[in-house]
Structure 1
Amino acid sequence: MRRALLAITGLAAGTTALVVLKGPPGAGQVAAVAQPPVAPAPADPSARPEATPTPAASGRAPSARPTDGAKRSPTARADTAAPRPAAPAPTTSAPRPTLRTVSGPQVSYEYGTLSVQITLSGTRIVNATGIGLPQSGQSGQRSDNVQATYSGTSGEVVRRQSADLDTVSDATATSEAYQRSLQAAIDRAR
């Protein structure tokens, strides 16, 4: 029974010593700095405590024993009273830019009218689409070619980030109308 009690006591004391000496996770090693003891405040506010020379002024190391007659706990040590460094401030990520949509004006051309709508994240174009393009006949086919080349999240508008685009073959009028509306949308977005 006695051995078990001693084993448990030794284990508890060893664990406590490890926790006290190691500190919290991530704290690293902290240099021990001896601190002079702090005298309790006098009960009478008009009474002044006697001036105690600081270690720098007296030229000698501070005493590990209390000078005011107070008792220290047997486990307290003057060299472990060093302040711990502050934990690093948490980092915050930059606010994410909000998405906004800007539409260009309707541009009339020989096959109808169209406008271009762009979506921006901050100042970057992330999507573009033509609105009101003809859907039938040969004009519809030209419109489909222009949409496939310029529009979408991976189209030429997003890649180039401008209205300076190559003309789509066999769709010159539709390409030029798209580029005019696109340039106006970009100008409005700025």
Structure 2
Amino acid sequence: MHALKKNRPLRRIVLASAATVSGVVLLLSFKPHTAPATALAVPAPSGSAQVTGTKTVTGDSVDTRWGPVQVRITVTNGKLTEVTAVVYPQENPRDQQINSYAIPTLRTEALQAQSADIDTVSGATYTSDGYRQSLQSALDSMSG
């Protein structure tokens, strides 16, 4: 007679419970993928001299899965005062829809953070990554 026949219901209960516990343990031990941490920040001015005046720099064009992303920044008296996306994916209606909310959100985040250490916009991961990289390249060229 088979081990899981109806004349042994306790054995079925024990096996079902063990399988459930094993599944829950495996599920709870799952570690989601995270992007590697990158040091991203507004470059500190060298020495005691503070950068004065206004300077505008365009970052590198970063190729993403959906198209290139490039930003231009303006720094006034050492403070990031403007970030403009000069190139970003807008080839089709879906790109236009996504970037209609992603680009303004990324701009606001960058101005608040005063660095490229900004969050990814949900639904616009590739654009966010390209935006961060281009922003960081502009900030790096500002100090050099």
TM-score range normalised by the length of the shorter chain: 0.5 to 0.7
Counterparts of 1:66-85 in structure 2, within 5 Å, are none
Residue in structure 2 matching 1:141, options 88, 97, 110:
97
The aligned amino acid for 1:181 is: S
Counterparts of 1:1-190 in structure 2, within 5 Å, are 97-135=52-90, 136-151=92-107, 155-190=108-143
Question: Gapped runs of 5+ residues in structure 1?
Answer: 1-96
Distance 1:123 1:99 in 2: 8
Question: Gapped runs of 5+ residues in structure 2?
Answer: 1-51
Aligned-pair Cα RMSD in Å: 1.5
What is the TM-score of this pair, normalised by structure 1? 0.46
* Identity, % of aligned positions: 35
Distance 1:144 1:133 in 2: 11
Q: Which residue of 2 aligns with 1:84?
A: none
Greater strand content:
2
Q: Which residue of 2 aligns with 1:22?
A: none
Q: Deviations over 1:89-118 (max 9, x none)?
A: xxxxxxxx3211011010001111121110
The aligned amino acid for 2:125 is: T
Greater helix content:
2
Distance 2:72 2:102 in 1: 14
What is the TM-score of this pair, normalised by structure 2? 0.60
Distance 2:105 2:56 in 1: 20
| Equivalent pair of 1:142/1:174 in contact (CA under 8 Å) | no
| Secondary structure, counterpart of 1:125 in structure 2 | strand
